[in-house]
Structure 1
Amino acid sequence: MSKTEQAFSAIRWNSLITFTRVILQTLQLLVLTRLIEPADFGVMAMVLSVTAFIQFFADLGVSTTIIYSQNISKQALSTLYWLNVGTGALLSVLVWFLSDTVADFYKTPALAWPLALAGLSFFFLSLGQQYKVLGEKRLAFKEISISELSSALLSTSLTIGAAFFGFGVYSLVIGVVSLALFNSLFYFLFARGGWLPSLTFKFREALPYMKGGMYLLGTTLSNTLTVQADIIILGRLVGETALGFYSVPRELSLKLMYATNPIITRVGTAIMANAQNDKTLLRRIYLSTILMTSSVNFPIYGAMAIFRHETIDVVFGARWAASADLLGVLAVWGMFRSLGSPVGSLFYGTGQVRMALAQSLLVALLIVPTIYIGGHWGTIGAATALAAFYFCFIFALWPFVIKPLTGAGLWEYTRQWLVPLILVAIASALALVAASPFELSLVRLVVGVATGGIIYLGLSWFFNREWCNAILRLTGLNKRLFARQA
């Protein structure tokens, strides 16, 4: 199988698990918003803001180093595995003892026990992380997809069941911990490719990879601060209830991004690693990644922004009406933030860990005061500040990152996402007109999304043909079309 066919096969399997996971997570969110109070979502958002930082220490930043390293010994892999497991266990214990202190910081006593229990996920994650990374390196996304699909099904079932029986915020904790446990179990069963770490622990063998990992760890922590800064700041400024109304549309926006982007970026990192010495090929791969990312994400976020009231009413229910305008602004934020994900693939695929660290630190330093200033106008102010920041960010990327690494011109780069943006704007306006005669939220949403989707696809066929051809090839429809024409 050629590299191209391997990539498309990997994307197909990645797409399968990603879309299935989106369906499960959306179903879970839809059910839980009817069973759990907004304040519980606020508490869980605080829990995740803490665990999001700490979980990366369990990996020590070496996962991506393993991917782009051409040769790595079995002794080094075994040492790294046991080092990660030991670190994961240590972090779980650390979170347990610090849970009361974190609850005091947020002025939310109800946070302590959920956080302490959620900390168990660090140990469970560390048990299977290396199996997943090695599977990604050899593009074994079929096995990884089977593992993650099995985990998602079990975790979602447990979470919804716990919420139904009145566990409140603890049902969300059960979801986090069980997902980590099941992922590691199924990575071991399906994705390890025959690899088992030995009982070897030779620190010198692992040290070179840990040095590179430290840059990646710093980058990941900075990126996590960038993602979680709004939750941390708003948790102090507005309290758990207002944070709950903010965190639910925010989570929906992030879920869509994390659902669609990894389909391309997880595979893109491995492909860019193979092309890191060919700048022309690297430029073509990166620009194609931007085109695919924007062409898929923009219409979804555009529909969310235009039909924000209908989405909230249908998906979450009337008691979440206060989140509607937040969803509209956060959809714009998600749209432009999604363009930053391929940059990570570019950095890690080419081994530019120092540049990645510098970029992520700068973004973190700028975004914290941005959110703090916006937060003085409440959650809507913080969301607006985030959207404005990332709109400026996509332009700032070009002279400092994209041009030096790929040689792509400004218009060459901008065109990849500007064309889908214009098509989405036209399709959204016509969708809004088509839905205007109706009053029922569900009918407006169905008519608007169907109309906008058809118009967007039609416009894309004439003005974004490269993306259409890629989708046809990805789904295998191009072969069927050619067979009929023959």
Structure 2
Amino acid sequence: MSAIRRELHKGIKWTGISTLLITGIQIFQFAILGKIMSISQFGLVGMLTTIVVFAQIVLDLGLGSAVIQKEEVHKRTLSTLFWLNLMMGLGVCLVLFFTSPFLANYFHRKDLTDLIKILAMMFLIAPIGQQSQYLMQKELRFNMLGAIEAAATIISFFTLVILIFMISPIKAFVISQVVLYGLKGILYFICYQRVWRPSLVFDLSECRSFLSFGAFQLFSRIVNRIGSNIDVILIGRFMGAEALGVYNLVYQIVTIPVLKINPIITRVAFPVFSKNQQSHTALNDGFLHMTKLLSLVTFPLLMGLTAVSNVFIPAIFGEKWMDAVPILQIMSIVGILRVLMNPNGSIILAKGKANIAFYWDLGVLVLYGLSLNFAVASNSLKVVAWTYVMVSIVNFLIGRWLLTWLIQLQWKHYLKTIMVPLLFSILITAIAYVTKVFSALFFQTTAILPLTISVGFSAGVYLLLLLKVYPNYFLRIVNKLARGR
């Protein structure tokens, strides 16, 4: 096994354990909110999440990627960046607090005003641990990062469960998010202070190269997030909270692999790729290996979901969400494409090409914005979903061309990498569909049993296929777990 693969696997183990725990808790939380909240309230969750995403990007200033990418960072520079993050946190908090009425007015929901003001409080606390988080990631301390994030998620979840019976579900959700991000910031700082703690130094001249790199990364991420959230922004304003509620439920489901599973690998990949940024051979090997891992895990999840969506939705979220079924089947294609596109950023940033990422994201934003603006005018979520699919295909093809230019990635090697996961996933999707249809004949009054049987049987077949095709790979995993490594 190559050195870059060994480093990837070491980090993936710890991020994988914590992410699986966190994802399990968040899916359970997601199901509870889907059952308790009205469709309109779930739309508010989408609006609030979008606001938080943009605020977090501004808070970061693109400096996190700069700290990780630079081979050497002086303590004076880190201290300056720490105080800069705190000032940005205060600024973001004040901006959100005073602009909350205008943001609420944009979405035509006055009840958003107080919720945004509560959310703003997290930005007073979260920045405390940002530099510590970046340094732990740079040093590949993923065991510590995983433990912190798992602990914060568990405490946040219990906060939600307690509050949901005392106040409105949407307000309970907002407070739980403040607890989650605030607690993570505090724990990052506490756990890393033995290694590094900020001094009373603030000298921006020390940070010029970081601010230059970070500026492109900041604008790139803002543009990227506008592009990936333009659907929520437009649907929320022009189609209303209820339509956004249905769309948000679907979007949250299909992006679970991108937001929860992909980071297990991509979070490790960026610092590892940065250490090998001069070797195209190593980057090609690492990228293709990462793509194979992501494909093996996420392809069957998203493709299988299309086969069981009509029993999955009522079983997990209730009959009131049945309008989401056809949208979920279409948007699963978007989920697959986003899984494949997501690792691109690790390569681009590792090569120090934050400017290219910015221009690419800007072009994609224009394409997404114009396309979805016309789609929303149809007042049909199906039209919006299919438009998203078509634009995502174009974005995917551009991304492959960009990597061909950056690291000489060859199409034939890329297609060979994803072919086995794709064929296996098509097979188990067909098995899941047939199993669901036959089991539904025997259990006509419930959706949970056909769902459980079809998912369980197809998952078993998939694991047997993987053991047959990749026996040595699974044997290595078992041996490592047995040795506790």
Normalised to the residue count of structure 1, the TM-score between the two structures is 0.93
SS across alignment from 1:164: coil
332-341 or 213-222: bigger deviation: 332-341
3-state secondary structure, aligned to 1:200: coil
Aligned to 2:459: 453
Quick check: 469-478 or 443-452, which moved more?
A: 469-478
CA distance in 2, matches of 1:469, 1:394: 32
CA-to-aligned-CA distance 1:104-136 (integer Å, 9 cap, x gap): 111111111111211222232211111111000
Distance 1:458 1:383 in 2: 34
Amino acid at match of 1:410: W
Stretch moving more, 122-131 or 183-192 = 183-192
Residue 44 of structure 1 corresponds to 45
Q: What is the one-letter code of the residue matched to 1:343?
A: N
Question: For residue 394 of structure 2, what is the aligned residue in structure 1?
Answer: 392
Does residue 473 (structure 1) correspond to residue 479 (structure 2)? The answer is no
Residues 103 and 110, structure 1, Cα contact 8 Å, conserved in 2: yes
Find the aligned partners of 1:86 and 1:46 in 2 and give their Cα distance.
Answer: 25
* Residues 412 and 6 of structure 1: CA distance in aligned 2, closer, same or farther (over 3 Å): closer
**Cα distance, 1:344–1:431 mapped onto 2, change above 3 Å:** same
Matched with 1:187 is: 188
Letter in 2 for 1:388: M
C-alpha distance in structure 2 between counterparts of 1:389 and 1:365, whole Å = 11
Q: Would you say the 8 A contact 1:333–1:386 is kept in 2?
A: yes
Unmatched segments (≥5 aa) in structure 2: 441-445
- Residue 395 of structure 2 aligns to which amino acid in structure 1? F
Query: How far apart are 1:44 and its partner, in Å?
Result: 2.0
Measured after TM superposition, the shift of residue 344 of structure 1 is 0.7
Question: Separation in 2 of the partners of 1:261 and 1:204?
Answer: 36
Tell me, yes or no, if structure 1 residue 174 matches structure 2 residue 175.
yes
Distance 1:378 1:130, change over 3 A: same
**1:311–1:477: structure 2 CA closer, same or farther, 3 Å change rule?**
farther
**Sequence identity, in percent?**
24
Q: Does 2:256 align with 1:250?
A: no
Aligned equivalents of 2:22, 2:81: Cα separation in 1: 29
- Are 1:146 and 1:190, in contact at CA under 8 Å, matched by a contact in 2? no
Contact 2:436-2:451 within 8 A present in 1 as well: yes
Distance, in Å, in 1 between the alignment partners of 2:316 and 2:201 is 51
Question: What is the RMSD computed on CA atoms of the aligned residues?
Answer: 1.8
- Taking a change above 3 Å as real, the CA distance of residues 4 and 459 of structure 1, as seen in their structure-2 partners, is closer
Q: TM-score, normalised by structure 2?
A: 0.94
Residue 221 of structure 2 corresponds to residue 215 of structure 1: no
Deviation at 1:151, TM superposition (A): 0.3
Aligned length in residues? 475
Distance of aligned partners of 1:336 and 1:193 in 2 relative to their CA distance in 1, 3 Å threshold: farther
Alpha carbons 2:126, 2:184 under 8 Å: kept: yes
Separation of aligned partners in 2, 1:226 and 1:16: 31
SS of match in other structure, 1:437: helix
Q: C-alpha deviations, 1:426-474, integer Å up to 9, x for none?
A: 11112211222222321211121122222323334455x3xx6545434
Q: Give the 3 Å change call, closer, same or farther, for CA 116–471 of structure 1 in structure 2.
A: farther
The 3 A distance-change label for structure 1 pair 415 and 82 is same
Taking the aligned partners of 2:85 and 2:249, their CA distance within structure 1 comes to 32
For 2:114 and 2:474, how far apart are their aligned partners in 1?
Answer: 46
- 1:374 aligned residue: 375
Structure 1 residue 479, shift from structure 2 partner = 7.3
Corresponding residue of 1:484: none
Provide the C-alpha distance between the structure 2 equivalents of 1:454 and 1:436, rounded to a whole number of angstroms.
18
Secondary structure of the equivalent of 1:70? coil
- Pairwise CA distance, 1:10: 1.5
Counterpart CA distance in 2 for 1:162 and 1:281 is 49
Which amino acid in the other structure matches residue 398 of structure 1?
Answer: R
> Could you tell me how far apart the structure 1 residues matched to 2:282 and 2:228 are?
31
**Matched residue type, 1:309:** N
CA distance in 2, matches of 1:191, 1:331: 39
Aligned to 1:96: 97
| Correspondence list, 1:294-313, <5 A | 294-313=295-314
Report if the CA contact (8 A) 2:126-2:186 is conserved. Answer: no
Alpha carbons of structure 1 residues 352 and 453: separation in structure 2 relative to 1, 3 Å:
same
